[in-house]
Amino acid sequence: ADDGRLARTVARLAAANAELVEERDALRRDARRVAETKRATEALAKKYDAKFEKLRESLDAFRRAYPAPSNPANVLEPGAPAPSLDDLERDARELRAQLAAERDLGRKRDAIIARYEHWYSALKASAAARRRPSHEGSFEA
């Protein structure tokens, strides 16, 4: 009865461990995809920054070549107002707090997984030790 219960417990733990390992692997895959997307986004941003800078240089050259007020390139509408320093600092504080919370959550998850893996390894070792036949009580020479 105890062997059956132990076997069921080990089977449940093995299934739970497999789920956790699968979840960890999925999180790692997601992290890799996020990193790849971030790199691709940064590359795209650099590409379009270069194109925009080239366009701006062409526009400035056109303005210099044709300085008349009737030239539509010389009439610019003002864009959105730049964010104030206070707004930027507030946003930075919020992002730092959010990052700290995410890091803390990640550390907690890693610690839980490490404790579980350690416990599971110890359980497997003790189960293996119990399965080995004991030769202590043997009178054979």
pLDDT tens string 53-77: 999 999 888 878 877 766 666 665 5
The rounded mean pLDDT for the chain is: 88
Question: Which tens digits make up the pLDDT trace of 110-137?
Answer: 999 999 999 999 999 999 998 887 655 5
pLDDT at 134: 62
Q: What is the pTM of this model?
A: 0.36
Query: How many Cβ atoms sit within 10 Å of the Cβ of residue 117?
Result: 14
Contact in structure between 106 and 3 (CB atoms under 8 Å): no
| Contacts for 13-16: CB closer than 8 Å, 24+ residues apart | 13/120, 13/123
Q: What span, in angstroms and rounded, lies between the C-alpha atoms of 131 and 141?
A: 23
